[in-house]
Homo-oligomer: A and B are copies of this chain.
């Protein structure tokens, strides 16, 4: 190993960074060797800069509460009291502190606050994927409500992945978030329940009657029923069901139950080739069309679990000369913006209300310390009839 031909002074902590930055700024190469073993891995003093350009911002050390206290000639305690709006601080000192904060451009280090206060003012939202307009609307609303209430939103996509979902649950244990909203559930509730010890969980859209937690959702059985019933009322008998969500989600199970209920009510026995549960995108809708198209006995109507699937299906059907709804009636789900544009009959979900309610339940939960209630809010569906049925 290279042996420096001169003795190297110990560089005080903090200074070494500045040195490197300065040399970087001068566009020179700097190599500092220090032989103390611990430097090797804990704070690597060996730097080499090998070219390039750009402007370097070496930030000043951020002002801390101690700086403010010193400048104001008061104790940290008093400054903290001003920050947190405690009573029992005289107007006079309050003004001194505020001025010092202003002058130093002081902003409290939120990690220190979180550590000490043991709360984070952050709520995580788990969504399978964001590009589904249903979920992006949900998240948009939730962010709005959270912001109103002074909370931040940590955003996670589970990508319909069980393992991903479980790994994100660790955020609760690591005290990184105050609470968790699940908009879908890949794992069984019993897998998730233990995490309640570490903080509140709220279900939104997704639901489970076993779970003793607040939830905002819709009666999916009713949703499936309403949609199917509408198709039946239009005179259809051979109706295909295609759900939007994979896995063992209650949501899709409920919808399917509603479909079956409606069909049985008029005494139609359901053929196995009428059930599809693996499509949940526009592309999925297109694929669905070809599957149906190739059936010996083609259905006359399709109940889809999302407007995305419905639009893909209609798109591909039209391309193949089908007239909608005469050759094939299609009903969607959600009432996404695209539904209006395409004249799609659909079962409307009150997304805004859903998101708002869930977030409000969460905030309430957090603010009422650790009391866990199982407040269940069920919102109504609405059938929007357009031209596709």
Of the residues B131, B147, B156, contact of A137 by C-beta under 8 Å: B131
Within 8 A of B (CB), among A196-212: 196-198, 212
Which listed residue (B107, B122, B131, B342) contacts A341, Cβ 8 A?
B342
Kindly list chain B residues whose C-beta atoms are within 8 Å of the C-beta of A41. 86-88
CB-CB under 8 A from A39, the residues of chain B are: none
| Chain A 87-124: CB-based contact to B (< 8 A → 1; otherwise 0) | 11000000000000000010111111011000010100
A139 in the interface (beta carbon within 8 A): yes
B21, B55, B112, B196: the one within 8 Å of A115 (CB): B112
A311: interface (CB < 8 Å): yes
**Interface pick from A4-12, A291-299, A367-375:** A367-375
Q: Which residues of the other chain, B, contact A130 by a CB distance below 8 angstroms?
A: 130, 136-137, 139-140, 143
Q: Within 8 Å of chain B (Cβ to Cβ): is A56?
A: yes
Given contacts A54-B373, A60-B197, A370-B59, contact A157 B144 (CB under 8 A): yes
Chain B CB within 8 A of A163 CB: no
Complex Cα gap A136–B140 (Å): 10
In chain A, positions 114-164 with a C-beta closer than 8 Å to chain B are 114-115, 120, 122, 129-131, 133, 136-137, 139-140, 143-144, 147, 152-157
Q: Are A56 and B107 in contact (CB under 8 A)?
A: no
Number of copies: 2
Whether B157 contacts A155 by the Cβ 8 Å rule is: no
Taking the closest CB of chain B, its distance from the CB of A170, in whole angstroms, is 6
CB of A173 closer than 8 Å to a CB of B: yes
Interface majority SS (helix, strand, loop, mixed), chain A? mixed
Contacts of A131 in B (CB 8 A): 133, 136-137, 140
The chain A residues found within 8 Å of chain B, CB to CB, are 17, 21, 24, 41-42, 52-60, 62, 86-88, 105, 107-112, 114-115, 120, 122, 129-131, 133, 136-137, 139-140, 143-144, 147, 152-157, 170-171, 173-176, 196-198, 212, 282, 308, 311-312, 315, 337-338, 340-342, 369-374
Q: Can you give 7 contacting A-B residue pairs, CB < 8 Å?
A: A52-B371, A53-B373, A59-B197, A107-B170, A140-B157, A144-B157, A315-B341
A-B interface, 6 closest residue pairs, ranked by CB to CB distance from nearest? A155-B155, A136-B136, A130-B140, A111-B114, A59-B197, A107-B173
